[in-house]
Amino acid sequence: MKIMVIQGPNLNMLGVREKQIYGPMKLEQIHAQMKDFAESNNTEIEFFQSNLEGEIVDKIQECYGEVDSIIINAAAYTHTSIAIRDAISAVGIPAIEVHISNIHRREEFRKTNMIAPVCASSVVGFGAFGYHLAMMGALQIMNEIRAVQEMQQAASAE
């Protein structure tokens, strides 16, 4: 099983920007914890971060046929990007949206969420721990999909 983690704009500044909202952890530290968890669950994981919407769309499209699940923090693009929403929808890969802060308790413009309707689930407001929760969810979804496929194969073999 393979997970792609896609990080949007300004997440490369974690640990520096607005620590009272986003916490003290740097993106590299979050990724190191995710990598450890993935390894302990026999799962491949890759990381990608970009401040550019088109690069995020390209990375989502590159996931088609290559990964089993996407964990995405589209950051500010969550509230504006139809392109990212359409890319997630197009590839048909279970995606879990993560937000470090609780976007529902913040500025009014952050309450518009373009990508949640095309994601399997959303994790918001748990800080950096939200990525761990998203990984647990991704593994569960992938295991359920695999179990259904195995049952279908067994039924067709009979």
Question: Known catalytic residues?
Answer: 22, 99
Residue 98 half-sphere exposure toward CB, CA atoms < 13 A:
26
